[in-house]
Amino acid sequence: MANLQETVARKFPEVEVAQGETLELNVPDKVWHDLATSLRNDFGYDNLRALIGMDWGEQLGVVYYIVNSTTYDMIRVKVVADGRENPFLHSISDLYAIAGVYEREVYDFYGIKFIGNPDMRRLFLRNDWVGFPFRKDYNADPDVNPVRLDHEEVEDTTVYYEEDPSGKIVEKQRVIFSPEQFVVNIGPQHPATHGVLRLRTAVDGETITKIDLYLGYIHRGIEKLCEAQGYPQTLHYTDRLDYLSAMINRHGLCLCIEKAMGLEIPRRAQVIRVIMDELNRINSHLLAMGTFCMDLGATTMLFYPLRERERILDIFEKTTGARMTFNYNTIGGVMADLHTDFVSDVKALLDVMPKAIKEYNKVFTGNIIARNRMEGVGALSKEDAISYNITGPTARSAGWNYDVRRARPYGIYSELDFTVVTRTGGDSMDRFKARITEMEESCKIIAQLIDKIPEGDICAKVPKIIKLPEGHWFQEVETGKGAFGCYIESTGAAQPYRLKFNSPCLPLAAVVDHLVSGNKIADLITIGGSLDYIVPDIDR
Amino acid sequence: MQDLSFITGWIDNFLSVTCGLAPWLTVTVECVLIGLGLLLLYALLALFYIYFERKVCAFFQCRLGPNRVGPLGLLQSFADMFKMLIKELITLNHADKFLFGLAPFLVILASMLAFAVLPWGNGLQVIDFNIGIFFLLATSSIGVLGILLAGWSSNNKFTLIGALRSGAQMVSYEISISLCVVTMVCLAGTMSVSEIVAEQANGWFIFKGHIPAIIAFLVYIVAGTAETNRGPFDLPEAESELTAGYHTEYSGMHFGFFYLAEYLNLFIIGGVAALLFFGGWMPLHIPGWDGFNAVMDYIPSFLWFLVKAVVITFVMIWFKWTFPRLRIDQLLSFEWKYLMPLSLVNLVLMVIIIATGFHF
């Protein structure tokens, strides 16, 4: 760490270095690209975890969280753009593959243009949207942006910005699809995209040549909504992001707020949270597995995992009253105490799961057609996983053993005994098998805790109106899909100044083009199913 | 073994002698009657299969299946049929209207024509001529034309991909089917359906032809599943890739025709398998067991045929609800690299066995 600080001070004297929650660098835009190159190549900070657009009133800018993929050290970088009228920053999309998509999101919401990003279209909003909604001076008058009932024109070209040697910024055009290409819209209404995801797919016969990701069909502006809500009110949005990891997402936001408040959580609540998280993870993996098999045409294999998933949903329903958006975690603990049947129901589930997993393997995993469809299809390398900021089972099956529960333990995970499931192939079959093994690991975690739920309070005492001190916090949790991050920036008010949900599913969707090109249409479905992205989590 | 041709003979006699109609008029009336009979059978079989498949797949999937309309949901497929009949036929703006309308009829025509030569029972056969099985192969390949037209004329990218997949698939797998049929024709020594059945009076071909017949049957079942575009070969309508494939744009009864044709093709594949390998309507006869043979003869011949066909189609339904779908390149290489060479070798094997008299 000291080494990094010294080098930065020597090579980039303009950079302000501070030590907060993580090492924090305040970087002027003109040295940012060089510094990023140095960080990535010399110090191993090769995983761009989050890229958060910010409006600090006077200035616009971006906050980067960058992770070292072997030591899991995280640094925070703040880059500020000049002026509000036509702000430009240098892109780092040539260093981090995922930055291309993240920068488009920042452009969409804040209007910051990135020099060197090959594609500067909006990411979520329509092409004809007026203004940049996340700016604090955004005009939200419905007359400016009425509910448009006309069809959105799809553009086959995009603009990008380049700096010529004299330092002047020039706008250039780039063709996405040429008129000769046969472009099929897979989605937004399509059975295999698991939601309203649209993949504009150029095909040559059955072979896919290029995919253009078209997002925003379920964009609800959750982060913007949060800026107008008190902290307890922001919680329920997390259940509606990745609805299959609702418990875990909410746990993440609660942890972030509790960290900012310096709140001590009762032991009972912590144990309950971890058990619920792991049940939720099994639930998420079961559905991912079932729908993946259905995408491959094995409809029957959808129903076997659903049978076990029903048991988990019943357990959730008894305690929380809901089967999907649980609203269970709350700031300081959990909302309600466990149902009296909870322990016996969970034990019954733990008895059933090994048998069920054996059955899944018998019905599907060894099947020759299934193996031919999955093995070697959509192989993701470890370097690509890191560069595309892919986390969760997908990254671990590609050989990157990053698991937030182990790398940056939260709750009581540091006391628990479990294996981080890592595989090496990175293809669809590895992702499928990694999920099955993770379910076994989750069962192991639950088995360690289920007999040791301590008595006590389920929720700490929290004030009626929660105000966070001035500052910023970043908290990650491991959901079923990967690392889910919450970033809060507070000015001391009862509402967050900026609340960013760093979803694990956007990178998963962004990597599809990279994995699919040159494969068959059927492989697109295999790869999409095995990546297991959830569209509301992508769009937010 | 009762001969059901007395019924047809009686009708013919009634029309020409009792009513005194001219021969051409008698033939016309008979054709109309047969057409009506076949249409009725067609509808009933399709309804049966819809119900049967839904129930079978429900039990595979730990569900109950249709159970609300009528006892055990028996009236469900009737309700579905009436719903289908009264639904609107949506016409597309930028489609080739003539071909779009023609396609479902071509598909249904192919399966309808194939019905004409199936051995429904002892004496219950619409036309019986010396190239019956050849006629069946010829007519069933009209179906792919309808599918190609449907996909092309809908002016939709998904349907086009589905249709092209279907074309490649059905043309390929037709070869294996034909080779299997030729293998069995070698054993029978005739292409006439009634004679093929008669040949099996003292033992079904699957027993008489032993090894090559069993190989031919296995290849035939696999290729037949592909020929009907059913899982695991349901690429032309792979719902997770192409929504509904070539019939995505069809609605109402036009869609209904494709739906019916799928089930009827399933039945035809089962029926032809029953004819070639399991003796058509011929009861199970074991040489030397006269008592047993006499008991078997008491079971009506049409029941023998239907039950055999349904059992074989049950196996194909079982395939569909167990296996995941193949990919197009795997599908084609499976046919051209494995199934077709295998069935060619099998044909040679069968010829050798017949030449050396090694069969029963």
Residue extents of the structural domains in chain A: 2-176, 222-539
What mean pLDDT, rounded, does chain A reach? 86
Residues of B in contact with A522 (CB under 8 A): 235, 238, 241, 325, 327-328
Confidence (pLDDT) at A187: 75
pLDDT in tens, A493-535: 888 898 899 889 899 888 988 888 788 888 888 888 888 888 8
In a domain, B42, yes or no: no
> Rounded to the nearest 5°, which phi and psi values hold at A172?
-130, 160
A294 touches chain B (CB under 8 A): yes
Residues of B in contact with A200 (CB under 8 A): none
Confidence (pLDDT) at A83: 78
Q: What is the homologous superfamily of the domain A222-539 according to CATH? A: Cytochrome-c3 Hydrogenase, chain B (1.10.645.10)
Enclosing H/E stretch for B219: helix B210-227
- The pLDDT of residue B31 is above 70: yes
- Chain B nearest-CA distance from A371, in A, is 10
User: Averaged over A122-147, what is the pLDDT?
Assistant: 84
Cα A341 from Cα A317, distance rounded (Å): 11
Terminal Cα distance for chain B, rounded: 23
Residues of B with CB under 8 A from a CB of A: 57, 60-63, 157-158, 161, 165, 231-232, 234-235, 238-243, 321-330
Residues of A in contact with B241 (CB under 8 A): 192, 521-522, 524-525
Which tokens go with B62? Answer: 């730990």
Quick check: A104 and A116 in contact, CB under 8 A? no
Enclosing H/E stretch for A174: strand A169-175
Residues of A in contact with B330 (CB under 8 A): 369, 372-373
Between chains, do A369 and B240 touch, taking CB under 8 Å as contact? no
- Chain B nearest-CA distance from A229, in A, is 40
- Chain A nearest-CA distance from B306, in A, is 27
pLDDT in tens, A391-410: 889 998 988 888 888 888 88
A297 touches chain B (CB under 8 A): yes
- Given this structure, which CATH class describes domain A2-176? alpha beta
Confidence (pLDDT) at A207: 87
pLDDT in tens, A442-489: 998 999 888 888 888 888 888 888 888 888 889 889 988 889 989 998
Between chains, do A297 and B323 touch, taking CB under 8 Å as contact? yes
Q: CA–CA distance from A113 to each of A507, A539, B166, B292 (Å)?
A: 20, 20, 47, 88
Burial of residue B291 (CB within 10 Å: 0-12, 13-18, 19+) is exposed
In a domain, B169, yes or no: yes
Cα A133 from Cα A143, distance rounded (Å): 14
Which tokens go with A325? Answer: 């958006």
In a domain, B286, yes or no: yes
Confidence (pLDDT) at A455: 87
Q: How far is CA A11 from the centre of its chain?
A: 33
Cβ within 8 Å of residue A409, ≥6 positions away: none
User: Which letter, b or e, does each residue of B178-213 get, where b requires 16 or more Cβ atoms within 10 Å of its Cβ?
Assistant: bbbbbbbbbbbebbbbbebbbbbeebbbbbbbeebb
Confidence (pLDDT) at B1: 60
Q: Spell out the alpha helix ranges (H) of B67-156.
A: 76-86, 97-115, 132-140, 143-153
Beta bridge partners of A435: none
pLDDT in tens, A311-336: 999 999 999 888 888 888 888 888 88
pLDDT band at A2 (very low <50, low <70, confident <90, very high): low
Cα A18 from Cα B214, distance rounded (Å): 79
Task: Pick A369's closest partner by Cβ from B61, B241, B323.
Answer: B323
Confidence (pLDDT) at A285: 92
Greatest alpha-carbon pair distance for chain B in Å reads: 68
Between chains, do A299 and B57 touch, taking CB under 8 Å as contact? yes
Cα B50 from Cα B78, distance rounded (Å): 10
Task: Pick A522's closest partner by Cβ from B239, B323, B327.
Answer: B327
Residues of A in contact with B63 (CB under 8 A): 303
Query: Range of B132's domain?
Result: 87-356
Greatest alpha-carbon pair distance for chain A in Å reads: 72
The amino acid present at A411, given as its one-letter code, is G
Confidence (pLDDT) at B2: 67
This complex has an ipTM of: 0.79
> Rounded to the nearest 5°, which phi and psi values hold at A459?
-150, 140
In a domain, B18, yes or no: no
The A residues from 201 to 260 touching B (CB cutoff 8 Å) are 203, 206
Between chains, do A297 and B321 touch, taking CB under 8 Å as contact? no
Q: Which is higher by pLDDT, B140 or A515?
A: A515
In this structure, what DSSP letter does residue B190 have? Answer: -
pLDDT band at A286 (very low <50, low <70, confident <90, very high): very high
Confidence (pLDDT) at B74: 86
Whether omega for the bond prior to residue A188 falls within 30 degrees of 0, making it cis, is: yes
Quick check: A90 and A72 in contact, CB under 8 A? no
In a domain, B23, yes or no: no
Task: Classify the C-alpha dihedral B222-B223-B225-B229 as positive or negative.
Answer: positive
Cβ within 8 Å of residue A267, ≥6 positions away: A454, A456
Confidence (pLDDT) at B345: 92
Terminal Cα distance for chain A, rounded: 35
pLDDT band at B311 (very low <50, low <70, confident <90, very high): very high
Confidence (pLDDT) at A282: 92
In a domain, B325, yes or no: yes
Determine which of A7-11, A380-384, A415-419, B40-44 has the lowest per-residue pLDDT on average: A7-11
pLDDT in tens, B280-308: 787 877 777 778 777 777 778 788 888 88
Instruction: Report the domain count for chain B.
Output: 1
Cα B244 from Cα B249, distance rounded (Å): 9
Quick check: B283 and B299 in contact, CB under 8 A? yes
Cα A497 from Cα A502, distance rounded (Å): 16
Q: Which is higher by pLDDT, B93 or B339?
A: B339
Confidence (pLDDT) at B240: 67
In a domain, B45, yes or no: no
User: Which letter, b or e, does each residue of A349-362 get, where b requires 16 or more Cβ atoms within 10 Å of its Cβ?
Assistant: bbeebeebbeebee
Enclosing H/E stretch for A64: strand A60-67
The A residues from 122 to 181 touching B (CB cutoff 8 Å) are none
Cα A195 from Cα A240, distance rounded (Å): 13
Beta bridge partners of A228: none
Confidence (pLDDT) at A10: 80
A519 touches chain B (CB under 8 A): no
* Backbone φ/ψ region at B62: left (φ over 0), alpha (ψ -120 to 50), beta: left
Between chains, do B161 and A184 touch, taking CB under 8 Å as contact? yes
Quick check: A269 and A459 in contact, CB under 8 A? yes
- Chain B nearest-CA distance from A367, in A, is 8
pLDDT in tens, B213-253: 888 899 999 988 888 888 788 877 766 677 777 788 888 88
- Chain A nearest-CA distance from B243, in A, is 7
- In the block, residue with structure tokens 């009513």: B19
Quick check: B316 and B225 in contact, CB under 8 A? yes
CB neighbours (10 Å) of residue B342? 18
Between chains, do B325 and A299 touch, taking CB under 8 Å as contact? no
Confidence (pLDDT) at B26: 81
Cβ within 8 Å of residue A50, ≥6 positions away: A63, A64, A65, A102, A474, A485, A487, A500, A502
Which tokens go with A46? Answer: 């090769």
Q: Which is higher by pLDDT, B140 or A477?
A: A477
Cα A211 from Cα A200, distance rounded (Å): 6
Cα A91 from Cα A62, distance rounded (Å): 11
Using alpha carbons, select from A242, A271, A442 the residue that is nearest to residue A343: A271
Residues of A in contact with B231 (CB under 8 A): 297
Cα B114 from Cα B268, distance rounded (Å): 7
In a domain, B37, yes or no: no
What mean pLDDT, rounded, does chain B reach? 83
The amino acid present at A20, given as its one-letter code, is G
Cα B18 from Cα B72, distance rounded (Å): 46
Whole-structure pTM over 0.80, yes or no? yes
In chain B, the residue whose alpha carbon lies closest to the alpha carbon of A299 is B321
Among B165, B318, B325, B326, pick the best mutation site for testing chain A contact (most A Cβ within 10 A).
Answer: B325
User: Averaged over A249-274, what is the pLDDT?
Assistant: 89
